[in-house]
Each structure stands twice: as C-alpha cells, then as structure tokens.
C-alpha cells in the first residue's frame, strides 16, 4: 500500500456539499402520524391501537417517544409483560389485545395526555398537538 501525504488545506479544498434530507420514510411516517393524533383529555385502547394500524414500526416509535425510552427498553418491558412472544408486527396482529394491555400497563395513555411534561437529556418539553 502506497502512503500519500496530504495537507489539511488539500483535504478541505476537496470537500463538497452533500445535499440530503434528514427525514427518511420512517421519520416522515412518524411525524405524519403524530400530527394526526386528535388532541383529547385522555386516551384509551382504541387510540393506542390506531397508532399501530397503518404501520407497526411507526406506532412502536411513537410509543417510544411518548414513553421516553429506547427501542431496547421498550422491547424489554413488553417482553416482561407479554412473555416469550416476539415483539413485532406479526405478534401484534396475533395478540393485539395483549399488546394494547401491555402498553396501558406501561402508561402510554397517560404519556399521550396533552400538556404532559417529559424530561429529555437537555431540557423540559411539553407534549402538544402540532398546529
């Protein structure tokens, strides 16, 4: 292998702008679904179920966002509540009632409540419906 010595100025001069969107299809779906959530004083099983109807992955991400936990943490919590089922779309379809009950146990309806404050690593925010 031949070593090539480069100067910082040469490297910087060779850089170019890369046009890209920070939103992929999944992100766009999550944002669209969040914007479509009707603002209500409280949420129930039907509301939770509707998060997962168009796309399980989108609903799962929204549940993570409202609960303020990682994908792995949510899978661990659901696994503890649901037993030895796979946490995914096929299992959700087969065991919809059990999944929804698990999300209720985790406090998802309360987490979705308008004005509920949640803590991120940086600052406090309030969940509000998109304009």
Read off the tokens for 61: 């991400």
Query: Rounded to an integer, what distance in angstroms lies between the CA atom of residue 40 and that of residue 34?
Result: 13
In this model, does residue 11 exceed pLDDT 90?
A: no
What number is the average pLDDT over the span 89-94? 92
In this model, does residue 117 exceed pLDDT 60?
A: no
Of the listed ranges 10-19, 47-56, 67-76, the least confidently predicted one is: 10-19
What number is the average pLDDT over the span 63-67? 94
Across-strand partners of 117?
A: 126
Query: Rounded to an integer, what distance in angstroms lies between the CA atom of residue 69 and that of residue 65?
Result: 7
DSSP state at residue 119: E
pLDDT at 4 (0 to 100)? 78
DSSP state at residue 72: H
Across-strand partners of 119?
A: 124
pLDDT at 106 (0 to 100)? 95
Confidence band, pLDDT 50/70/90 cuts, at residue 16: confident
Q: Say which residue, 130 or 43, is predicted with more confidence.
A: 43
Residue ranges covered by each domain of the chain: 21-126
Q: Does pTM top 0.85 for this prediction? A: no
What number is the average pLDDT over the span 66-87? 91
- Could you tell me where the DSSP H helices lie in 15-70? 25-36, 45-52, 56-67
């Amino acid at each position: 292998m031949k070593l090539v010595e480069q100067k910082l100025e040469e490297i910087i001069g060779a850089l170019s702008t890369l046009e890209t969107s920070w939103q992929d299809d999944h992100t766009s779906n999550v944002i669209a679904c969040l914007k479509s959530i009707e603002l209500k004083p409280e949420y129930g099983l039907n509301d939770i179920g509707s998060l997962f109807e168009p796309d399980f992955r989108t609903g799962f991400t929204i549940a993570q966002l409202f609960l303020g936990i990682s994908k792995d943490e949510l899978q661990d919590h659901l696994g503890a509540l649901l037993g030895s089922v796979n946490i995914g779309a096929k299992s959700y379809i087969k065991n919809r009632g059990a999944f929804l009950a698990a999300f209720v146990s985790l406090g998802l309806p309360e987490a979705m409540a308008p004005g509920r404050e949640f803590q991120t690593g940086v600052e406090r925010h309030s969940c509000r419906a998109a304009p």
